[in-house]
Amino acid sequence: MESARDRYTREMVEGEDLWMLPQVDKYGYECGGCGIPVFPASYDQANLQRPHFKKQQNTPHKDGCNIDGDEKTVARGKKGSVRNELETSPDLSPSRLVLIDERPAVDPERKPSSEQTSTVRDTKRSDDEGLVRPKGRRAANSIRPICRAFIRFPFDRTMSLDVPGVEDKTYLQAFKKLGGKGVDLFSRARIFYAELAWAKPQEDGDFLVIPLSAGEWCDEKRWVKQYRVRVDRSKWSKHKRTKVSNELEVARLEGIDAKKTDSKLRPYVFFVAEQDSAEPEFFNISDHRLICAVVGTISYPDFKSGK
Ligand SMILES: [Zn+2]
C-alpha cells in the first residue's frame, strides 16, 4: 500500500513521507479504508527503495474496506472514465491540496482519541456503527496523491482540483507539461511537470538544483537551455533534505532501469512553482510538499470522445 493513516494524527501518510521522520513508529499506522494495522516497510533513509505499508498476511481487510476496490478502479481508469467511483472514493482523486502545519510532535504514548482533529480528517468513527466510509473526495496534504491521480486517470482530468496558488481548477488545466522546444514564459503558477534528467541533481549549499529533461535541445545532443527546479532548503531539517533527495534518486534510478528494459515507465518530477522572472529556465520552490517524483506512464487520450 502506498499510503496509510497515522493512528495518532488521523492524517493520511504517503510511504515517501516516512523518509522524513527521525523515527518511524512501526505500530503507528492503519489501513485508511478499514483501520486494520499496517506496517511501514523500506523506510530506512539509507534504503533506496520506495517506502510503503504492508498488512499482516493473515489479517484480511475488513468488510467494506475500499482498498481492493480502489485497485480495480485504478486498473479500469487507464481505459476509460471511472468518474463515479472517483467521486465516492476518498483517496483516489483528491479534490484539493491543503497544506497543514508541519506534522505536530506526537506523543507516541497517547492513544488515538476522537477529540483529535485535523483539517483533512473526514473519516468518522463511531463505536456503534464501526467505521463510516467517508463520502466524497478527500483533500491531500502534499501534491503526490494529486499527481498520481493525474497519471492514473487520464479520462477523468476534467474533475475539479483546488491547489492554493494555482488559478486553474481542474486536473486538465492545473497541470502543465514542460516541453522540449525551447524555454517558454508562463504567466502563472501551475503544477508543472517534466521527465527527470538522467544527470544527478546538484547540491549547491542550501540549494538543490534538479535538471529536467525539457527546455531547448540542440543538435539532438545536448541542452542549450534546460529547465531546472531550484529548491531552497535553507529552512529544512536534515531528514527533509534526505527525503527529497531519496525520492528523486529512486525515481532517477527507476527511470534509467525502465529505459534499459524498454519499459514505458518514465520518472516525472511535479512541482507547484513560479518561474524565475530573471532566469526563466528556473523554477523556485521551498516547500517540500510542493514537489514530488512519480514513476509512471502519462497518456493523453481525447477525453471528450472517451478515446
Ligand atoms: Zn483496509
Tens-digit pLDDT profile for residues 167-187: 999 999 999 999 888 899 998
| pLDDT value, residue 103 | 53
Q: Which residue has the higher pLDDT, 121 or 170?
A: 170
> Is the pLDDT score of 121 beyond 80?
no
Q: What are phi and psi of 127, to 5 degrees?
A: -65, -30
> Does 289 lie in the same domain as 195?
yes
| pLDDT value, residue 205 | 93
| pLDDT value, residue 303 | 53
* Spacing, Cα 16 to ligand 1 middle (Å): 20
> Is the pLDDT score of 211 beyond 70?
yes
Which of 145, 165, 200 corresponds to the end of one domain? 145
Give mean pLDDT, residues 259-277: 93
Q: Is residue 307 part of a domain?
A: no
Task: Summarize pLDDT for 271-292 with one digit per residue, the tens.
Answer: 999 899 999 999 999 999 999 9
Pairing of strands 175-177, 190-195: parallel
> Does 195 lie in the same domain as 135?
no
* Spacing, Cα 39 to ligand 1 middle (Å): 13
Of 48-62, 215-229, 231-245, minimum mean pLDDT range: 215-229
Nearest to 85 by CA among 133, 39, 50: 133
> Is the pLDDT score of 83 beyond 70?
yes
Residue 145 · residue 3 · CB < 8 Å:
yes
Which of 81, 116, 145 corresponds to the end of one domain? 145
pLDDT band at 116 (very low <50, low <70, confident <90, very high): very low
> Does 136 lie in the same domain as 179?
no
pLDDT band at 119 (very low <50, low <70, confident <90, very high): very low
* Spacing, Cα 239 to ligand 1 middle (Å): 29
Q: Is residue 303 part of a domain?
A: no
* Spacing, Cα 30 to ligand 1 middle (Å): 8
* Spacing, Cα 264 to ligand 1 middle (Å): 30
Helix (H/G/I), strand (E/B), else coil: 105: coil
* Spacing, Cα 1 to ligand 1 middle (Å): 10
Range of the domain at 32: 3-145
pLDDT band at 7 (very low <50, low <70, confident <90, very high): very high
Alpha carbon distance 237, 105 (integer Å): 14
* Spacing, Cα 272 to ligand 1 middle (Å): 31
* Spacing, Cα 33 to ligand 1 middle (Å): 4
* Spacing, Cα 69 to ligand 1 middle (Å): 10
| pLDDT value, residue 169 | 96
Task: Summarize pLDDT for 249-260 with one digit per residue, the tens.
Answer: 999 999 999 989
* Spacing, Cα 147 to ligand 1 middle (Å): 23
> Does 170 lie in the same domain as 121?
no
* Helix extents (H) in 155-303: 171-174, 238-260
Which of 145, 178, 206 corresponds to the end of one domain? 145
Alpha carbon distance 252, 53 (integer Å): 22
* Spacing, Cα 291 to ligand 1 middle (Å): 28
> Is the pLDDT score of 114 beyond 60?
no
> Does 131 lie in the same domain as 93?
yes
* Spacing, Cα 139 to ligand 1 middle (Å): 19
Pairing of strands 282-285, 222-232: parallel
Return the ∠ at Cα 109 (arms to 108 and 115), rounded to 5°.
90
> Does 161 lie in the same domain as 292?
yes
> Is the pLDDT score of 113 beyond 50?
no
> Does 161 lie in the same domain as 138?
no
Q: Is residue 305 part of a domain?
A: no
Q: Which three cell numbers stand for residue 131?
A: 467505521
* Spacing, Cα 32 to ligand 1 middle (Å): 6
* Spacing, Cα 99 to ligand 1 middle (Å): 26
> Does 192 lie in the same domain as 113?
no
CA 50 to each of CA 84, 114, 116, 262, 293: distance values in angstroms, whole numbers, following the listed order: 30, 32, 30, 21, 11
* Spacing, Cα 83 to ligand 1 middle (Å): 22
Q: Is residue 9 part of a domain?
A: yes
Q: Dump the DSSP string for 191-232.
A: EEEEEBPSSPPEEETTEEEEEEEEEEEETTTEEEEEEEEEEE
Q: Is residue 78 part of a domain?
A: yes
* Spacing, Cα 90 to ligand 1 middle (Å): 13
* Spacing, Cα 91 to ligand 1 middle (Å): 13
Q: Is residue 304 part of a domain?
A: no
Nearest to 300 by CA among 155, 161, 123, 177: 155
Residue 147 · residue 294 · CB < 8 Å:
yes
* Spacing, Cα 24 to ligand 1 middle (Å): 21
Task: Summarize pLDDT for 15-54 with one digit per residue, the tens.
Answer: 999 998 889 999 999 998 899 999 999 998 888 888 999 9
Number of domains in the chain: 2
Average pLDDT, the chain: 87
* Spacing, Cα 75 to ligand 1 middle (Å): 18
> Is the pLDDT score of 306 beyond 50?
no
